[in-house]
Structure 1
Amino acid sequence: MITAHPANSGAAADVNPTYAIRTHARYQPDDIALRYAGGDWTYARLDDRVARLTTLLAAESVDEGDRVAYLGLNSPAFLTTMFAAFRRGAIFVPLNFRLAGPELAAVLERSGATVIVCEQGHREILVSVSEPTSLTTFLLVDDDPQVPPADSVGDRWRPWGSLLAAVEPTQEAPARGFDDTAMIMFTSGTTGRPKGVILTYGNLWWNGINVDARLDTRRGDITHAVAPLFHIGGLNALALRTLVRGGTVVLRRGFDPADFLDDLHEFGVNSLFAVPAMLAALARVPGVFDDPLPALRTVVVAAAPVPPSLIELYAEHGIILQQAWGLTETAPFATHLPAERTAEKLGSAGIPMAHTQVRIIEPGVGDPLPAGVNGEIVVRGPNVTPGYWNDPTATAAAFDAQGWFHSGDIGYLDDDGYLYIVDRLKDMIISGGENIYPAEVERALADLPGLIDVAVVGAEHPEWGETVVAVASAGDGNVLTLDQVRDHAAITLARYKLPTRLLQVTTVPRNASGKLDKLAVRRMVDGAR
C-alpha cells in the first residue's frame, strides 16, 4: 500500500546550501569552487574555512535566528560568511558597500545584526555608525591579498585570520526547511527607504529549480560573478546555484570590461549574469567580437531595461542575450525569455518561470487586464518572499488577499503571454493628463549616436503639471542638443512623450545593481534649475 504524503511534507527536506558545500568537499575536494585574483579555492578549502568560521560564530554566542552581516566587495570572505551563517542556523545580512553612513546605520539597526565581517576599506564608515546598532562582534578580513592591510585595528576589531586558524572546524549544520529564513537582503532604496526583504531557504531553492528548468545551465558549469553579490541577481541568479551543483565561480571584486572579456576567454565561462550597462561597456572594448566564445551559452541580462539594439548587436555575433525580469522579492527571477525566442520577441522579458505565476492587473483595483493593456505586474510562487523584516505594514501593502505580490512595475502581456516591461509605477510622469513612462523614453533614446547613458524623470511644470527631462551622458566629448534628443525619440514616440529639457552630465547615476538611481537623477535636475 502506498500512503500519500501531506501536501506540505516537503517542508521536512533539508535545503540548506551549506550541506552541498560539505558534500562537494567530501566527494570532489580538489575541484575548483572559486577562481579569485588572490588564488583559487577548492571545495575542500572553502568547506574548511566555512566550518572554522561556524565554530567561531558559536564561540561568539551566535544562535539560530541571530543575524550575521557582511560589508565588503565580492570575495571568498563574503561566501564564507554566508555559508557559515547558514551552517550555524543564523540569518545572513549582505550589506551594500556603497551606502552612505546614515543609510548603513539604518540598515544595521533594522536588521539587528550582532556580528559583522568587514573589509578594511569599509571599516572607517562602519565605525562611524556602529554605536546605535546591536553589533557586538567585529571581525576584520585580514588574509585576502586583494584587500589592503590595516595599519592598526584598535580594541574593538579582531582580525579573523588567526582566529580561524586556531579553531577546529564544525561540520554539523541544522537542517533548514523551505520556510526558514536564510537571509535579509535590503532593497536598493532608489525610490524610498530600503526594506529588508526576507528570503527563505525555499525562496533560494525554488529559484534554483526555476533556473534549471528554463536556462541552459549544467552541472559543472563555470559562471562569472562580477555583479555585486549583495544584490540578489549577483548572488542567486547563477552564482549560488553553480556552487550548490558543484561548478566553478569566477569571482571578481569589480567590473572592468577588458578584464571581463579576458576572463570569458581564459576560463571558458559558460554562464553569467549581467546588467545592460556592463554589456554595453563590453561591446565598446576594441576587438571584442574578433574571437568567438564557444563555451558561452547562457547570458542572463536583468536589473534594468535592455535596449533592443544591444540584443541585436550581440546576436549578430552569435551571442544571445536572455532578458529576465524580477526583483529581490522574487529571488530574483519571475520571468525569462528563452534564447530561441529572442529574435521573435525582441525586447520582451519573457514568460513566467516554471513554478511562478505572473499576472497584469489594473493598479489600485486588482482586476486582471487583457493582453496589450498596461497594468501592474503581480507575482505569486514559492520563490516569492514571505514579506519584509519586522515591517508588517510594508508586508501587508505588498500582498493582496489572494497572495499576489504587487511589484510596482508596469507592463503588459502580448497575445502569446510574453511580458513586456514598461516602467515603475512610482516613476510614471503625468503631463497634461497623459501618462508617460520614463523607461519607454529611455529605450527610444538608447541607440542615439554618441549617447552613453540616459535617465528620464519628470519635473514640475506650471501649465502641464509635469514635463519630461532627459539626463544624459555622451562619450568622446560629444555635446548633445535637445533637438537631437527630441528628433531621435520622435522616430518611435508620440510628441507629448518627448523631452522638453536636456541635462548633459559626466555620468548618469546608477546604483550597485545597475539600476538608474532616480533619486540622485532628480536631485541633479532640481540643482540645475
Structure 2
Amino acid sequence: MTTPATIPHPANSGLRVDLNPAAAVERNARFRGDTVVVRYAGGDLTYARLDDKAARLAAVLADGGTTDGDRVAFLGLNSGSYLVTMLAAFRLGAVFVPVNFRLAEAELEAVLNGSGATALVCEEGHRESADRIRGRTSLARFLLVDDDTEVPATGAPGWETWSPLLAAALPAAGVAAKGADDPAILMFTSGTTGTPKGVVLTHGNIWWNSVNVELRLDTRRGDVTYAAAPLFHVGALNSFVLRTLVRGGTVVIRRGFDPGQCLADLVTHRVNSMFGVAQMFAALARVPGVFEADLSHLRSVVVAGAPVPPSLIELYAGHGVLLQQAWGLTETAPFATHLPAEHTLAKVGSAGIPMPFTEVRVVDAATNRPVGTGEAGEIVVRGPNVTAGYWNNPQANRAAFDEEGWFHSGDIGYLDEDGCLYIVDRLKDMIITGGENVYPAEVERVLSAMPGVLDVAIVGVPDEQWGETVAAVVSVDDPATVTLETVHAWAAGRLARYKLPRRLTVVPAVPRNASGKLDRAVVRRLADGQG
C-alpha cells in the first residue's frame, strides 16, 4: 500500500495569487509599453505612460500620508485622469472611491464622509462644490487635475495642481500585492430613494466578474472597448474597461455620451465591445446612417442598468448588431446574469442565464423559499463576484444577506422553463391599486413600444378610491398624438384594465440618473403635479 504524498507548498495552489489590476498594467507597460491603452481627446496614453503617471501619483499620495487601506476619491467625468487615479490608489493598496459627479452638495458630503476618504482628486468643473463641503469631511489632500485639455484648470487656493507634483515625483516602486478578499473599490449606490450605501468591491469581486465575462462573451486580447457611460457606475467600469487594461487592449474614453460622436468612434476605432443603457442605444439608433455604417467589429455589446424594450433589440438585430442583455447591481460587480448572443432573439426580453461562477435563485420574499418556474419572486444571488458587504453598515448587511450567504437584490423576476431570468420590477416599486398588484416595469414595456413614445416611467400616486392609481410620465415625439385616450387604446389589448394609467404627464425628458435608472422620486413629483 502506498502512502499518499504530502503537498509541501499548499500556497502554490493559486489561492494567494496577486489580483491587483495595477500589477497587470505594470506588466503590460514592461512588455508592450508603446501600445496606446487610452484614446481620449484630453490626451492619449500608452501603457508605459499610464503606468509611469500612476506610479508618480502613487508617490505623491504616499508623500501626503496615503497608505494601504486608505480611501482615495475621484470627482470628475470620464477621463484618462480617472484611470490614473484608480491605478495609483491600487498601487498603494488604497481603496478607490469613484464619486458620482452629478450629486448635489449634501449628497457629495454624505459620500465623502461615508467613505472616510482622506485624499481627493478633482476636476475644475467640480472644485467649487468640493470647496463648499470640504471642511465637513475627513479630506486632508486636495489635488486638482490641470493637464487635461478637455477641462482646463489653472489652480485655486487650497488646491495642489497635480502636473507639477507628478513631474517632480519619483515613480513609486512596486505594486501592493492584493488577494481576493482585499477591498479595491468603494462604490456608492445611487441615492434617489434614500441615503446611498457604500458597496465594497474586493479585488476578488472584480476578478471573478472578469472571468465570468470572458467565459460568456466574445472578448479577446487587444480588443478596443468604448467607454462613454459614466465610469463611476460599475457597469461601465467593470464590464470591459478594467479587464481591457489587464489584458492589454485599448479603451476609447469619452467624457459623456453623444450619439453622433459614438457612431463615428465605433467606426473610426473599430470598437469591439461596449457597455450602455437602453437609452444610449435608442439615441444611437436615431443617428442618420447608423445602420449603413461599418459596425462589423462590434462583437460584444452589453445593455443593462434598466429594462430594455424588445423592439430596440429587434431593431438592432435586424441590422446585424446583437444587443446582449445582462442583469446585476453594483453589489454583483455588476453581472449576475447575461443572455448569450445566440439567444438574443429567441429569448428577447430576458436578462439571460446565471454567469458561469454565479448562482441565481428566485424566492418568495416572505418565506425565502424558491418559487416555481414562471412564478415571480425576489431574485437572490450568491458567488465570488458578490460584494463583501456594505461599508460600515451592519444593519444594511443584515438586511441584504441571509444565513446561507444569498444576497437579496430587491428585484422581482421569474425563471422560465429554460432557466432564463426575466425582470419584472423592483420589490419596493410595486403599485397596489384596489388590492391588485401592478409592476411598473410591465406597463413601461408595453408603453415603450407605442409609436411616438420615446421614454416612459410608471409610478403609483395616492388615490382616494383605489389607495393608489397608476400614473405615466412620458417623453414623446408629438404631444398631440400621445394622450391618455391613445395610450388606453394602445394598451387595452395588452394589459389588464386595472394596470392602465389613469394619469398621463408629458415631459421633455423622463428623469433618469447617470446609471440610466429611473429617478422615481422625481417622477412621482411630476406625476403628482409637483414638478
Report if the CA contact (8 A) 1:221-1:247 is conserved: yes
Match 2:156 to one of 148, 153, 156: 153
Could you list the runs of 4 or more consecutive aligned residues of structure 1 that deviate by over 3 angstroms after TM superposition? 4-11, 476-479
2:113 counterpart (109, 115, 118): 109
- 1:11–1:179 CA contact under 8 A, matched in 2: no
Among 401, 408, 411, which residue is 2:410 paired with?
408
Aligned 8 A contact 2:42 2:79 in 1 = no
SS at match of 2:282: helix
Count of paired positions = 527
Partner of 1:262: 264
1:49 is aligned to 2:61: no
C-alpha separation in 2, matches of 1:283 and 1:478: 24
Letter in 2 for 1:153: A
Q: What TM-score does the superposition give when structure 2 sets the normalisation length?
A: 0.97
Question: Is this contact kept in 2: 1:450–1:478, CA < 8 A?
Answer: no
Choose from 33, 36, 41 the match for 1:29: 33
SS at match of 1:20: helix
- Which runs of no fewer than 5 residues in structure 2 stay unpaired? none
Give the gaps of 5 or more residues in structure 1: none
1:515 shift after superposition: 0.7
How big is the alpha-carbon RMSD for the aligned residues of Structure 1 and Structure 2? 1.4
| Alignment-derived partner of residue 72 in structure 2 | 68
Deviations 1:416-435 (A, max 9, x none): 10000000001000111111
Deviations 1:444-468 (A, max 9, x none): 0112111111100000111111100
SS at match of 1:289: helix
Q: Deviations over 1:203-235 (max 9, x none)?
A: 000000000010000111000000100000010
Per-residue Cα deviation, 1:174-196 (whole angstroms, up to 9, x for no partner): 11010000011000122221100
What is the 5 A alignment of 1:327-366? 327-366=329-368
Report the CA distance shift for 1:486/1:171 in structure 2 as closer, same or farther (over 3 A): farther
Indicate if the aligned counterparts of 2:472 and 2:527 stay in contact, CA closer than 8 A.
Answer: no
**2:24 pairs with 1:20:** yes
Closer, same or farther in 2 for the Cα pair 1:73/1:300, shift >3 Å?
same
Matched, 1:380 2:382: yes
Residue 171 of structure 1 and its aligned partner are, at CA, apart by: 3.1
From 192, 195, 204, the equivalent of 2:194 is 192
Q: What's the offset of the Cα at 1:519?
A: 1.1
Q: How does 1:211-290 map to 2 (within 5 A)?
A: 211-290=213-292
Provide the residue aligned with 2:136 in structure 1: 132
Deviation at 1:8, TM superposition (A): 11
- 1:13 Cα deviation from its structure 2 partner: 1.0
1:453 corresponds to which letter in structure 2? D
Whole-angstrom distance in 1 between the partners of 2:435 and 2:11: 50
Q: Output the TM-score relative to the length of structure 1.
A: 0.98
Q: Distance in 2 between matches of 1:193 and 1:263?
A: 37
Change (3 A) 1:370 1:204: same
The answer on whether the counterparts of 1:22 and 1:171 sit within 8 Å (CA) in structure 2 is: no
In 2, Cα distance between equivalents of 1:6 and 1:180: 20
Equivalent residue, structure 2, for 1:495: 497
The answer on 1:392 being equivalent to 2:394 is yes
Aligned equivalents of 2:437 and 2:419: distance in 1? 24
Rounded to whole Å, the distance in 2 between the matches of 1:423 and 1:277 is 18
The separation in 2 between residues aligned to 1:427 and 1:5, in whole angstroms, is 53
- State the Cα distance separating 1:245 from its structure 2 match: 0.4
Q: Read off the aligned partner of 2:528 and give its amino acid letter.
A: D
Q: For 1:192, what is the secondary structure of its paired residue? A: coil
How far apart in 2 are the matches of 1:245 and 1:392? Answer: 36
- Aligned-partner Cα distance in 2 for 1:436–1:9: 51
Q: 2:429, 2:102 → 1: CA distance?
A: 23
